[in-house]
Amino acid sequence: MGLKDRFEIVLNSPVYYAGQSMTGKLIVELKKPKKIKGLYLKYFGKGYVHWNEGWGTTMVSHSNLEIYLMQYQLVCGNETDEYKLTEGRHVFEFNCQLPPDLPSSFEGHFGRISYSVKAIIDRPLKNDYVAKQSLTIVSIFDLNRCSLAAMPVEERSSKTFWGHSKPLNMSVNIPVRGFVPGQVIPMKVLLSNESEVLVKSLEATLKQVPALPPSFLQFCSIIDLRYQLNVKAKVSGCHRSLKLPIEVIIGNIPLMAYEMPISGNQTLCDVPGLSPPYNQLPNSQPPPYTVIFPPSVEYGDLPPPSYEESTRHGSLNREGSQEASNGNAEAREFSPLYPVYRFETARVQTVG
């Protein structure tokens, strides 16, 4: 478009929950009138996986694709006759009712679930104008409705070492299996060492980032997301460590009977690349997000979460990279935002 022209999608929120109405504005500013066939909006969401197996001439590529959202909306024009879009500023408000069965946005090494809004100006006998805005969709995973989430965890493991007849025993206890981002996972670890092999250290790791999509990625049939807590007793010498893997469940509505979040500075992080007004919020307050809770459960006392950007994993042939290589300047890499709660236990852990 011309140097003084503007063609931009501005969403009212960078985060929407499945089942909500996604709203925003399409802004078109023209320095002179333009003849068009139509101005369209395309709401699109898909899941894609890709990985390779083998090496060299034996390498086999695997991929799969699912479409979750594909809706078109004619903003102006009639698709057949030419329509004259006058000079000046045009603001078109839009609304898209999201289906309730959308999986959460996800970025991984071998797959992704992505959502976007694309605006297209269809020009007769000329290249189309295209604007694109990515966004995060969050699918509600209520831990109060997952029977496994509230169950306590007790796992045991043992190991014998070369030259030692007696074992090293380890047991791990966790009060519940289900947690939400921002919550501390308390563990009670008991070691019983009859092997006489020295235990040098004890460590526990959860291999993900603080802002997390929910376990299982419900409504997606090509990606299954699991979280594993690894507890390891590192021993001396050439012996291998004793390891105990424990699956935990990550949701985005916390277990009310276990621990309630606290209210506080629930701010939306400053995310580069998002359209205004997301990075220009007064008093650093987030927009009024409305979480859709299951209608049969009352969560009136649940403080709102903040929304934090996930750390990107180096990943497959990204749509953004592919589109940018094809000359689409609107394409860019996107990191989803996920709800993160504040807890008193987490605050205590960071003191001192």
User: What is the rounded end-to-end Cα distance, in angstroms, of the chain?
Assistant: 55
Q: Are 250 and 291 in contact (CB under 8 A)?
A: no
DSSP 229-271: EEEEEEESTTPPPEEEEEEEEE-SB--TTT---B-S---B---
Q: Are 133 and 244 in contact (CB under 8 A)?
A: no
Number of Cβ within a 10 Å radius of residue 18: 21
In the chain, what are the domain boundaries? 6-139+268-296, 144-250
- Distance, in Å, from the CA atom of 324 to the CA atom of 329, rounded to the nearest integer, reads 6
Query: Which pLDDT tens digit goes with each residue over 123-160?
Result: 888 888 999 999 999 999 999 999 999 999 999 999 99
The pTM score is 0.82
- Distance, in Å, from the CA atom of 187 to the CA atom of 174, rounded to the nearest integer, reads 5
All residues at 6 or more sequence positions from 315 whose CB lies less than 8 Å from its CB, including other chains = 107, 108, 109, 110, 111, 112
- Distance, in Å, from the CA atom of 341 to the CA atom of 287, rounded to the nearest integer, reads 16
Task: Give the bridge partners for 47, in sequence order.
Answer: 66, 113
Q: Mean pLDDT per 10-residue run, the chain (352 residues)? A: 77 90 93 90 96 90 96 86 88 94 93 96 87 94 93 95 91 96 93 91 82 91 94 91 94 91 58 38 42 52 82 47 38 78 72 42
- Distance, in Å, from the CA atom of 275 to the CA atom of 11, rounded to the nearest integer, reads 8
Distances (CA, A) of 147 to 51, 141, 177, 249, 301: 33, 12, 10, 11, 22
Give phi and psi for 282, each to the nearest 5.
-65, 135
- Distance, in Å, from the CA atom of 167 to the CA atom of 157, rounded to the nearest integer, reads 10
- CA torsion angle 7 12 13 16 (round to 10): -100
Query: Which pLDDT tens digit goes with each residue over 186-238?
Result: 999 999 999 989 999 999 998 768 578 999 999 999 999 999 999 999 998 88
Whole-number pLDDT of residue 290: 46
- Distance, in Å, from the CA atom of 293 to the CA atom of 306, rounded to the nearest integer, reads 17
Give phi and psi for 69, each to the nearest 5.
-145, 125
Whole-number pLDDT of residue 2: 55
**N residues, the chain:** 352
CATH architecture of residue range(s) 6-139+268-296 = Sandwich (2.60)
3-state SS, residue 45: strand
